[in-house]
Chains A and B, each alone.
Chain A
Amino acid sequence: SQQGEEDPQALSIQEGENATMNCSYKTSINNLQWYRQNSGRGLVHLILIRSNEREKHSGRLRVTLDTSKKSSSLLITASRAADTASYFCATATVNRDDKIIFGKGTRLHILP
């Protein structure tokens, strides 16, 4: 079962532009995480945002969380070719402290 759902499923933008992808979830969470996966590789953790936080930054990444709408967004500013990857949100739901649940991901392609 998958709790989070990313939108869009796929996104192509020009290098230098900003990329925004969204994650919606169904059940109350303790935290939400974003991961990146390059083709044929494992996942790399990007940012963890807790349910009592609204926004976090890490370099060119900005994550927001709106618990009233049960949604999060990941913004990548000034995109680079190396940002081409799949991006997944993962949620840690309340009362389930033994796992995180991944969405299906957004496939981001940065055009040169």
Chain B
Amino acid sequence: GAGVSQSPRYKVAKRGQDVALRCDPISGHVSLFWYQQALGQGPEFLTYFQNEAQLDKSGLPSDRFFAERPEGSVSTLKIQRTQQEDSAVYLCASSSGPPTDTQYFGPGTRLTVL
């Protein structure tokens, strides 16, 4: 595909369930980012990968959040024991250059925790 894809597009989870969100970046893009976007707000940085290395995870809100990119391509954001406050849109973006260059975003996964 030509762009960043994310799956699922929508996820409903019961409080306490674990969820896994997938991101397929643009082929060859070295940098990959995860953001959390609450309703009516801008994207909030969660974590950044350069190839398979997670260089910055300072934005992850708690140790229930875990991200990986084992082969430097596809990435998964996992949220354990989901809480209602985790309800948000999770956006993935990739970049061919450094993190401060243009980022290309996927459509996002809307997570609703009941």
B interface secondary structure, majority: loop
Question: Does A102 count as interface, using CB distance less than 8 angstroms?
Answer: yes
- Within the assembled complex, what's the spacing in Å between the Cα atoms of A101 and B35? 10
Question: Does B55 count as interface, using CB distance less than 8 angstroms?
Answer: yes
Question: Does B71 count as interface, using CB distance less than 8 angstroms?
Answer: no
Nearest CB of chain B from residue A60's CB, rounded to whole Å: 19
Smallest CB-CB separation from B100: which chain A residue? A92
Task: List B contacts of A102 (CB < 8 A).
Answer: 35, 42-44
Smallest CB-CB separation from B104: which chain A residue? A45
Most chain A CB neighbours (cut-off 10 Å) among B43, B91, B104: B43
Question: Does B45 count as interface, using CB distance less than 8 angstroms?
Answer: yes
Is A99 a contact partner of B45 (Cβ separation < 8 A)? Answer: yes
Question: Does B4 count as interface, using CB distance less than 8 angstroms?
Answer: yes
Task: List B contacts of A48 (CB < 8 A).
Answer: 101-102
Residue in A33, A35, A97 whose CB lies within 8 Å of B98: A97
How many A-B pairs with Cβ below 8 Å?
A: 59
For chain A, the bracket of interface size reads 20 to 34
Question: Does B107 count as interface, using CB distance less than 8 angstroms?
Answer: yes
For chain B, the bracket of interface size reads 20 to 34
Is B48 a contact partner of A98 (Cβ separation < 8 A)? Answer: yes
Question: Does A43 count as interface, using CB distance less than 8 angstroms?
Answer: yes
The contact string, 1 if C-beta is below 8 Å from chain A, for chain B 21-60, is: 0000000000001010000111111001000000110000
Given A99-B48, A99-B56; A45-B102 close (CB under 8 Å) = yes
User: Interface on A for B, CB 8 Å cutoff?
Assistant: 2, 30-31, 33, 35, 40-45, 48, 88, 92, 97-105
13 contacts between A and B (CB under 8 A): A2-B42, A31-B100, A35-B105, A42-B106, A42-B108, A43-B91, A43-B93, A97-B98, A98-B48, A99-B33, A101-B45, A102-B42, A102-B43
